[in-house]
Structure 1
């Protein structure tokens, strides 16, 4: 029935800043970017990141949700990495430091970073795939 997670949609507070983060900082490839004729959305950018994708939606009138504590709904997106140390070193060179971790468990190494709006992004290196 379900094959894989195709993409995650985000509405950033600053469209250009987030586009730069997901492409220049995380190494994603901009696949599509176009204007929309929609009452609340003006533009979309589709970025492939490894075997996944992030879709940024420009919504000029969107309002932020409270970020304090845990809340019901979206918590984070997770990307698998091949080498956690190398990944964190490359990100540090771009000014990105972990907001949590890295923590090593028998099956994986896990860390978290955040995008420009504070959305959590998990980085996971599998040592033993489930």
Structure 2
């Protein structure tokens, strides 16, 4: 029996809850599953899904530390989302004011990919399937 079955979720701590909530819902299109304010922690927890699959927990905490460097700091390097066709996905992001890096090609798979950043400069990759 395998120990692990799938990725359950990705947890992200943001510095500006309203800005990050807007980014992940209105720009990237995640759906809100649940939003909770935890007064004892002065923290919001926002559960987000994509195509009916729970994927991201977005947290706010008072004065979280900054990310040490981008993107090669220890820990999570980036999150990646698959798209069918990268060019229309990039065009859609640009219409919403999101700047992406130049499209690159994966040297092992031959697939196209690009990066952009969330409001806290967390690197996000789009990877063409």
TM-score, normalised relative to structure 1: 0.85
**CA distance in structure 1 between the aligned counterparts of 2:95 and 2:85, rounded to whole angstroms:** 16
Contact 2:82 2:127 in 1 (8 A): yes
Q: 1 CA distance for matches of 2:123 and 2:38?
A: 27
| Alpha-carbon contact 1:33-1:45 (below 8 Å) kept | yes
Listed as ranges, the gaps of 5+ residues in structure 2 are none
Structure 1 unaligned runs (5+)? none
Map 1:50-69 onto structure 2 (within 5 A).
Answer: 50=51, 51=53, 53-67=55-69
The CA RMSD over aligned residues, in Å, is 1.8
Q: 1:6 to 1:61 in 2, by over 3 A?
A: same
TM-score (norm 2): 0.86
2:27–2:96 contact (8 Å) kept in structure 1: yes
| Match in the other structure for 2:114 | 111
Cα shift at 1:65: 3.2
Separation (CA, whole Å) in 2 of partners of 1:88 and 1:65: 25
User: Which residue in the other structure is 1:87 paired with?
Assistant: 89
Residue 30 of structure 2 corresponds to 28
**Distance verdict in 2 for CA 1:25–1:36, change over 3 Å:** same
Residue-by-residue CA offset, 1:63-97 (whole Å, 9 max, x unaligned): 22332562111110010111101100000100112
Contact 1:5/1:52 (8 A) holds in 2: no
SS at match of 2:22: helix
